[in-house]
Amino acid sequence: MTHKRGFGSALLAGAVMSAMMSGLFTTAAAQSIQRTEKPDTRLHLRSLDYAVTYTAERTKIAPSNCGCFWLNGGSGDVAATLYRGLGIAGNLTLNHASNITPGVNLSQFILMAGPRYTFDSSRWTERGFAKKHATYLFGEWLLGGVHAYNSVFPSSAGTTPSASAFSMQLGGGANMDLKKGWGLRLLELDYVRTTLPNNGSNSQNDLRIGFGVSYHQKTATH
């Protein structure tokens, strides 16, 4: 009898142990699946960003090495993030300067588009001045065209009041969300190159500074 009871106890202990091991293996397998599950890498719209900024662009009168002046105006841009911070952006800038030389003004608008990378920098600022607000850094390279008017440009016929040319913008900036998607474009710095005729190198290498308001919209597929 004692032998049978011992055998039964052993069977019971074995069954309990088997159930426990089965549960452990099931839990481990589930955790392993969770750990190896790959993040969503599909290409789709994750967020949209808009901004309207005041801009100041430093340029100079060619072909001299001096005669620097500032174009003042505004920019509007929109960007779509598609994959791990990568996306596309478009920018429209209008600016103007008066009396760059006696009686000569300059107005221009620039339209460009190209790739943008956006990085969530909140973990760097969450303990500082923006601890309650999300912050984002972005860098971009845009290509397009410029049209300048109400000025004087050299041409084969002498001079002309307007001209169009290639333009490029390389730079980036920082956004900070405030409430319900609305925020600030804290700062934007860009190198802007245009190829307007100027009776010299026929190129302009400018520094543009901007700041303004922004809006960050997460999409349903984010």
Evaluate if residue 27 carries a pLDDT over 80: no
- The mean pLDDT of 39-48, rounded to a whole number, is 75
CATH code for residues 47-218? 2.40.160.20
Strands (E), the chain: 47-60, 68-83, 86-101, 104-120, 135-149, 153-155, 158-160, 163-179, 182-194, 204-218
Domain ranges of the chain: 1-37, 47-218
pLDDT digits (tens, 9 = 90+) for 105-147: 999 999 999 999 999 887 776 665 556 788 999 999 999 999 9
Residues 147-184 have pLDDT tens digits of: 999 999 998 888 999 999 999 999 999 999 999 999 99
